[in-house]
Amino acid sequence: MNYADLVKTIDSASRQLLGRAAAVVNQALVVRNWLIGSYLVEFQQHGKDRAKYGARLLESLAVDLAGRGLKGLEIRNLRNCRLLYLGYPQIRQTLSTEFNLALALPPIRQTPSAEFSEKASPSLAGKSSGPEATPLSVELVVRLSWSKLIELVAIEDPWKRAFYENECLKGNWSVRQLQRQIGSLLYERTGLSTNKRAVVARAHSQEPQQTIEDLIRDPYILEFTGLADRPEYHESELEAALLNHLQAFLLELGTGFCFEARQFRVTVGNDHDYVDLVFYHRLLRCHVLLDLRVREFQHGDAGQMNYYVNYFKKRVLADGDQPPVGIILCSDKDHTKVEFATAGMANKLFVTRYLTALPSAEQLQRFLETDRARIEALTEGRMSKPVPPSKKPVARPARKK
């Protein structure tokens, strides 16, 4: 074995074992959520105090589980756990007697009652016409990530679900790719086409395969394992450098910016988005959200920021907080555009107060254009050492008296 072979062998062994570790973690997450679903069904059918909670069961449970430090088990995901149990009963095969005893798990009934199954998902209770789709083997089910299973359990038609199960496994699609194909009606288009193989083949040619790194970075996997959702997962080298300097620039203004989060994750349903920088402004008593795009401004950027602003208004605001404000920064090679999102702020005086206390669009444009030029020059090797963010005095906006 020469040195090149040594490097190749170590790299191959590391990647194979990393993939195995990711698969084991995913299987544990899927089994846990299936168990949660089974316990929910059992409690709703036979719980001694089920009438006490009624429709409030999932709401109460989500609050109490969050109080115990469990993440990713909000109301919507608890519903998905229940659907997973009803839709994939074959997962029971992974639960050996020894496994149940080792974890001191309560016994699981063999099947949910027909009454509950029909109310939860008619297509799973045998109401679909024609022959039934062959259930996916348990070995293949646990190869699908929890993120993908959330998309699949939402499909009531068993044949349609089986189609996407098979194609997702064959193409090793990521959850985003699976969502895109469901949204593009691949199943329906394939059924209507006279050349079905060509339609499916074209869909696979459009989708790159999911990597081991994609699975490890899945937010649900990170939550389950207790690992941090690190900023570098979601940033390019240029974006990371610009955000580092922008963060320092805003803190140096001295006008009330307090750093709160980098790559703040916004999760709604099974979609995960990230706000690049989140500050809390102690003078305005509001959150300031900044999103950076290393390209020209697009109309969808404003809609995305308004989505973040409304998310913070509903999910993050504490008592006494004012509505959040968003800042969109788009920096391409030719020019920089800055837009402020003030969705829901009907009072013009209130908006003026916000914009007076925050850096002006001109200040941010000058900073980003200068900083991007410095970073790109450094990257291209035209500078011998890094140039820190500009320390020149910044004209502070006048404060409202």
Walk me through the domains of the chain, giving residue ranges and CATH numbers: 3-216 (no CATH), 231-379 (3.40.1350.10)
Position 249 confidence tier, pLDDT thresholds 50, 70, 90 = confident
**In this structure, what DSSP letter does residue 6 have?**
H
pLDDT recorded at residue 93: 82
Type of residue numbered 322: Q
Which pLDDT score is estimated for 88? Answer: 92
pLDDT of residue 80: 92
**138, pLDDT greater than 70:** yes
**Res 73 pLDDT > 80:** yes
Q: Pick the most confident of 35-44, 191-200, 374-383, 384-393.
A: 35-44
At residue 228, the pLDDT reads 59
Of the ranges 10-14, 119-123, 346-350, 382-386, the best mean pLDDT one: 10-14
Residue 113 is predicted with a pLDDT of 38
Is pLDDT above 70 for 108?
no
Work out the average pLDDT over 90-102. 67
Report CA torsion sign: 197, 203, 205, 207: negative
Q: Which amino acid is at 258?
A: C
Measured CA distances, 301 to 32, 43, 90, 215, 339 (Å): 37, 44, 43, 27, 9
Average pLDDT over residues 178-205: 84
Counting residues of the chain whose pLDDT is more than 70, the rounded percentage is 76
Q: What is the DSSP pairing of strand 336-341 with strand 271-281? A: unpaired
The C-alpha atoms of residue 288 and residue 286 are separated, in whole angstroms, by 7
pLDDT of residue 181 exceeding 70, the answer is yes
State the average pLDDT over residues 155-164.
Answer: 91
Report the candidate in 320, 126, 112, 145 with the shortest Cα–Cα distance to residue 221.
Answer: 145
Looking up tokens 């690992």, which residue turns up?
227
Is it the case that residue 121 has pLDDT exceeding 50?
no
- Single-letter amino acid, residue 226: G
Residue 99 pLDDT greater than 60, yes or no: no
> For residues 371 and 389, is the Cβ–Cβ distance under 8 A?
yes
The residue count of the chain comes to 401
pLDDT-based confidence at residue 30 (cuts at 50, 70, 90)? very high
pTM to 2 decimals? 0.61
Residue 27 · residue 95 · CB < 8 Å: no
Handedness of CA 307, 311, 314, 320 (dihedral sign): negative
Q: For the purposes of burial, counting CB atoms within 10 Å of the CB of 273, is it exposed (0-12), middle (13-18) or buried (19 or more)? A: middle
CA distance 149 to 178: 10
**Mean pLDDT (whole number) for 314-339:** 81
pLDDT digits (tens, 9 = 90+) for 338-391: 777 765 555 555 566 666 678 877 878 888 877 777 777 776 654 445 545 544
Question: Which whole number is the average pLDDT over 300-313?
Answer: 87
Out of 221-235, 295-309, 322-336, 369-383, which region has the weakest mean confidence (pLDDT)?
221-235
Cβ proximity of 308 and 326 under 8 Å: yes
Q: What is the spatial distance between Cα 340 and Cα 351, in angstroms, rounded to a whole number? A: 10
pLDDT at residue 76 above 80?
Answer: yes
